[in-house]
Each structure stands twice: as structure tokens, then as C-alpha cells.
Amino acid sequence: MNTVTPAPVDVVFPCLNERAALPWVLGRVPAEWRAIVVDNGSTDGSGELAAQLGATVAFEPRRGFGAAVHCGLQAATAPFVAICDADGSLDPAELPGLLALLTHDGADLALGSRRPDRGAWPLHARLANRALAALLRAGSGLGLSDLGPMRIARTDALRGLRLADRRSGYPLEMVLRAAEAGWHVVEQPVRYAPRVGRSKVTGTVRGTATAVYDMATLLADSRSRARRRGHDAETRRSDDLTIAVVAKECLPGRVKTRLAPAFTPQEAADLASLSLRATLETVRSLPVRSRILYFDGSPATATIPGFSYVPQPDGSLDERLAALCDAVDGPLLILGMDTPQFTRADLAPLLAEWGCGVGGAATGGAPADGAGCAPADAWFGAAQDGGFWALALAEPDGRLILGVPMSQPDTGARQLGRLRRAGLTVRELPTLRDVDTPEDAAAVAAQLPGTEFSALVAGVLAATGAAR
């Protein structure tokens, strides 16, 4: 039985009458990558030729660069999606270099900064791009030199930006929304050659003026949103915190598999259940607005007094956490189920600052770091294994999480960097140890003397030492 390996990258080519350039362009797409040509109303047979050359062809009747790219993005199925002009001015063979900035260097969005050949870039278009790049740097803090159309990102994360422009402002809106969401945006030089045929945008002063208008409008809207966010941050109430515990059903062979072979699958599941129970008991003691069990498993096992059951949707962990953020109104604290040793005192600075009536001497916690300053936009609790055990957002936004690779040694660092690049004031909670390995279990059990958790760990490790 033959199986088809999906392309690692889908390359979207917005296309309007580019028949002459398509053979060269499509021939330069890296092997195993898929080309998606979006015919934006061509009258020269571009779509038909692209299909003959092996590309996937989509049709978008609404004219506009943004409309065409959005159509291609909706058709993409690969983990990564790239965007490239179809006019021969940019070489798709340079895209793997941009992909490496995501897969190896931790970027969220990589752009090709155009280095033009002689005669490739009309003076009026170059000056307009330079002015818009300067405005972008001032408005977003990103040190970009170009707003070029060659770019690559994770497909689901890019969809999560919810871009709305369907004309020439689409490339700028992508960068602005990425900056607002704290994405790590980088650029790398790429060659920019004379295009085949006449440009529909930068080939005329009128087309360039339209593009500048679209982009200037987006910049003005971005500044207005920033002012509104600042006003909301000053006036928001923080005494309506929701805590969500992210958990999965504790079934043998499905949880805590890294505890093997010291723990049998059943013992690992029992330990996970005790860890979850301890977490829920601590959360239940906190005077917050609402508590959610964000659960992956049978609803019959998720009826917990004091908690609302919310099922996790399908998707990767970053997608599920992003969906949770987008579903909750008001401040949100996300906790995992793998740090049963955390206490009210560990959360005391956050709860005190966000007006939940605990903290300070009442819980044995210290005053919030930066007390007397503006309230934090986010709180972050790092885990010793490189992840995080707690993440609190005053204004939950799934874009702040979507696209952050999970379960990696640098997950916590990348998530913290995402928050800070979004301009959020972030304060940190104590670093705790997740229970993943037998060594973790023993260390955490030592912090929980006299509990069922510590008794189970002691019994298992004693039996293991006796070579059961």
C-alpha cells in the first residue's frame, strides 16, 4: 500500500497573468514542497498552465494581493506555509534558508529582505517601501528594513493572526499583528530580480500610491489599538480571575510514560491522578471568580466539585491553549497538572496584585515584585525542564501562544520571549519541577511528606531497589 508523505511546506503564489514567469518559478520550488498557485482572475491562462506544471491551483475572484494569499492560506495543509511572488522577481529556491530561521533559530516569522538587481525596483516603489519600513520600525519596535512579499511561518499560527486586509496592506498587517502577538520576526537578504512583465502594484505610481494608502491606514489603526490597550490596562479590574487546569485522563499507558520502567503503567497513572488531585485541591482553595478543568478525556471522569468542565479540542498543545485563551473573558491563569507541590504562597504575588484577596502575610508570600508599579500584563512560572507550569494573562489572546513549539527544552524561553516581544509587562513566579521522570517524582515527593503521592513514590522506588 502506497502512502503519500505530506509536503513539509506549502508555497502560496498569488497570481494574476503571470504565464510567462510560471515555468521558471514553479521549477525553482524545492523538491517535496507543494506549490499552491492562486489564480486571481488571470486572462492569460496562468491557472491552466500552473496545473499542467503540477501545481495545486485555487481560484480567488476577488482582486487583491491579500485576497489571493488568504485563499492560498486556507488551502494550505502543510505545517509551514510560505508566500512568494509568481512574477520571477524572487527565487523560491531561497525559501529553505528562511525555513531554517524557524526550525533552527527559533523565529516565528521569517521575511526575505530584498537586495535588488539593477533596474529591478522602480525608484518610486523603493522610496515608498523605505518610508513604510521606517514607520513600521517606529510603531512596532521591529528592526526590519523591508516589507517584501517572500516570507514563511507556521501555518496554524499564521491563520491565528486573523488577518483582515484583502488588498495591498496584507503584508504589513501580517507583520503588525505578529509584532502585537510577540512573535520573533526576523529577516534575511534575498535576491530581487527584474520581474517578468509589468507589475500590477509597484509598476505604476498609482498602484504604489494605493499600496501606500492601504498600509498607512493599517499603521494608523495599529497605533489606535495600542492606545486603547494602554487605556484598558489602566482601567481594567483584576479581581475576576479564572484559573484553568490543563489535564488529561489518567489512563495506564497514556500518562507519565517517562516514569517507566521504574513505574508500571498503572502506577504511573495512579501517580498522575494524585498529582492532578493535589493541583485541583490547591486551586479550589483560592478565592477566584471561576475554575475550569480543561480536560482531555471522558467527561464521566471530569466531574469535580467547584470546577467547570471544558473539553479540549483536537490539535497540538499550543493550538489547544490558544483556543482556551480565546474562549475566556477576563484575566486567566493556566496551570498544568504536573506540579502537585505548588502552593498558595507560590501564587501569592500574582493573586495579591490582581486583587484576589490573598497574598502577603496572609499566605506567607512576599509582596509582588514591583509593588507600587502598574499591574503586570502577564505572570510566568518556569519549569526546571525548560517548559512552564503557570502562565497568567490579564487579557488572554491565543496569538500569544499559538505557534510556540511545546515539549521542547526551550519552550519556556520561547514563550516568555513571545510575551515580552508583545510589549507585555511580565513578572515571574517561582521555578518549579515537573514530575516527568523517576528522579522528578522522588524530588517532588520529598516536598510532599505524609501525602499519598509521597507514599506511592516511596513504595515504588523501594520495590524497584529490591529488584522486584
pLDDT per residue of the chain (468 residues) written in tens, 0 to 9: 344 456 799 999 999 999 999 999 999 999 999 999 999 999 999 999 999 999 999 999 999 999 999 999 999 999 999 999 999 999 999 999 999 999 999 999 999 999 988 876 777 667 767 777 776 776 667 888 888 889 999 999 999 999 999 988 898 899 989 998 999 999 999 999 998 866 555 444 555 555 556 656 666 665 555 555 554 544 444 458 999 999 999 999 999 999 999 999 999 999 999 999 999 999 999 988 899 999 999 888 778 889 999 999 999 999 999 999 999 989 999 999 999 999 999 999 999 888 654 443 333 334 444 444 567 999 999 999 999 999 999 999 999 999 999 999 999 999 999 999 998 999 999 999 999 999 999 999 999 999 999 999 999 998 876 444
On whether both 152 and 300 belong to a single domain, the answer is: no
On whether both 220 and 240 belong to a single domain, the answer is: no
On whether both 222 and 350 belong to a single domain, the answer is: no
Residue 376 lies in a domain: yes
Q: Is 443 helix (H, G, I), strand (E, B) or coil?
A: helix
In 28-103, which ranges are continuous DSSP H helix? 46-52, 65-75, 95-103
On whether both 151 and 260 belong to a single domain, the answer is: no
Query: What's the structural domain count of the chain?
Result: 2
Residue 1 lies in a domain: no
On whether both 215 and 85 belong to a single domain, the answer is: yes
3-state secondary structure 387-426: CEEEEEECCCCHHHCCCCCCCCCCHHHHHHHHHHHCCCCE
Domain that holds residue 47: 9-233
In whole angstroms, what is the distance from residue 17 CA to residue 7 CA? 26
On whether both 212 and 262 belong to a single domain, the answer is: no
On whether both 199 and 220 belong to a single domain, the answer is: yes
Residue 390 lies in a domain: yes
CATH number at residue 285: 3.90.550.10
Residue 205 lies in a domain: yes
CB atoms near residue 313 (< 10 Å): 11
Residue 193 lies in a domain: yes
Question: Which of 188, 204, 233 is the last residue in one of the domains?
Answer: 233
CA 427 to chain centre: 20
Cell numbers at 98, concatenated: 528562511
Residue 4 lies in a domain: no
Residue 386 buriedness (CB in 10 A; 0-12 / 13-18 / 19+):
middle
On whether both 288 and 202 belong to a single domain, the answer is: no
Residues 310 and 294 sit within 8 Å (Cβ to Cβ): yes
Question: Which of 177, 210, 233 is the last residue in one of the domains?
Answer: 233
On whether both 208 and 243 belong to a single domain, the answer is: no
Residues 97 and 189 sit within 8 Å (Cβ to Cβ): no
Question: Which of 214, 233, 252 is the last residue in one of the domains?
Answer: 233
On whether both 316 and 207 belong to a single domain, the answer is: no
On whether both 383 and 435 belong to a single domain, the answer is: yes
On whether both 56 and 195 belong to a single domain, the answer is: yes
Residue 223 lies in a domain: yes
